[in-house]
């Protein structure tokens, strides 16, 4: 069964901590994405990557960075966590092309206290 | 930015009722997808439609892509509690490689 695996389902971190969210896919997808999902705001794209070592900013990149050293792994980094980064974080992957859907992970619910 | 507007935002119905969810835009999309997201999980792809006027059926779910490829609808017949979830439409614009997501329709089906 193909899947996108996010390293943690729930995380609680303190303000100012550096936080790493890991995502691994086993489908040989070129594209990988990080979204955050908040009530009333829908899915918002943070960063995406269309190839190893390539990254593009999404709609809300401030306060985040990413790393893609291997095709199957895409990491989201919160450089200095803040309470307004409390959210559900979703990783997704897809083949390149306009007719392919995204496969999402189960999400990481991050709480920053 | 190409926007996708979904309506209604919330829908609460009884088991056995029929319902339709709409996804509208002023822009043309080369393809459109529907996802369902259950609480605490990521969205799961239900269907992709690519041709104007296309209709696809998935058991009790019927998906339609508008003739002009600017809108889509999802119709559920005889809804069941297992249909409860957040339904998201998402479109690939004619230019670019990124999906645009709608705001979602939260459906609750009561037994």
Kindly list the residues from chain B whose CB atom is less than 8 angstroms away from the CB atom of residue A103.
45
Q: How far is B79 from chain A (nearest CA, A)?
A: 24
Over its C-alpha atoms, chain B yields an Rg (Å, rounded) of: 13
Which residue in A has a C-alpha nearest to residue B105's C-alpha?
A: A42
Cβ contacts of B45 on chain A, cutoff 8 Å? 101-103
DSSP alpha helix (H) spans, B1-111: none
Residue A3's pLDDT is 92
Q: In chain A, what percentage of residues exceed pLDDT 70?
A: 98
Contact (CB, 8 A) for A32 and A72: no
Q: What is the DSSP code string of A12-31?
A: EE-TT--EEE-EEESS--SE
Q: pLDDT at position B3, please?
A: 84
Across the range A63-90, mean pLDDT stands at 97
**DSSP 8-state class, residue B39:** T
**Alpha-carbon gap, residue B85 to B108, rounded angstroms:** 7
Closest CA to B30 of B50, B45, B48: B50
Question: In this structure, is the dihedral angle defined by the CA atoms of residues B97, B98, B100 and B104, taken in order, positive or negative?
Answer: positive
Residue A36, pLDDT > 60, answer yes
pLDDT of A65 > 70? The answer is: yes
Closest-CA distance of chain A to residue B85, Å: 14
Q: What is the mean pLDDT of residues A40-48?
A: 93
Residue B95, pLDDT above cutoff 80: no
Q: Check pLDDT > 70 for residue B2.
A: no
Mind listing the pLDDT tens digit for each residue in B4-62? 999 999 999 999 999 999 999 998 998 999 999 998 899 999 999 999 999 999 999 99
């Amino acid at each position: 069964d193909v899947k996108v695996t996010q390293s943690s389902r729930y995380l609680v971190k303190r303000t100012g901590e550096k936080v790493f969210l890991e995502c691994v896919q086993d489908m040989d997808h070129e594209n990988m994405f990080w979204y955050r999902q908040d009530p009333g705001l829908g899915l918002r794209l943070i960063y995406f990557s269309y190839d190893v070592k390539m990254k593009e900013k999404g709609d809300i990149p401030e306060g985040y960075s990413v790393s893609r050293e291997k095709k199957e792994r895409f990491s989201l980094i919160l450089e200095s966590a803040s309470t307004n980064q409390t959210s559900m974080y979703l990783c997704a992957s897809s083949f390149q092309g306009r007719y392919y859907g995204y496969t999402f992970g189960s999400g990481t619910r991050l709480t920053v206290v | 930015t190409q926007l996708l507007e979904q309506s209604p935002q919330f829908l609460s119905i009884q088991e056995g009722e029929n319902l339709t969810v709409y996804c509208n835009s002023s822009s043309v999309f080369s393809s459109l997808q529907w996802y369902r997201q259950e609480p605490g999980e990521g969205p799961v792809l239900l269907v992709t439609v690519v041709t104007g006027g296309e209709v696809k059926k998935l058991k009790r779910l019927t998906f339609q892509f508008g003739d002009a490829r600017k809108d889509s609808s999802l119709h559920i017949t005889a809804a069941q509690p297992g249909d409860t979830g957040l339904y998201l439409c998402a479109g690939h614009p004619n230019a670019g490689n990124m999906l645009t997501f709608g705001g979602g329709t939260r459906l609750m089906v009561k037994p």
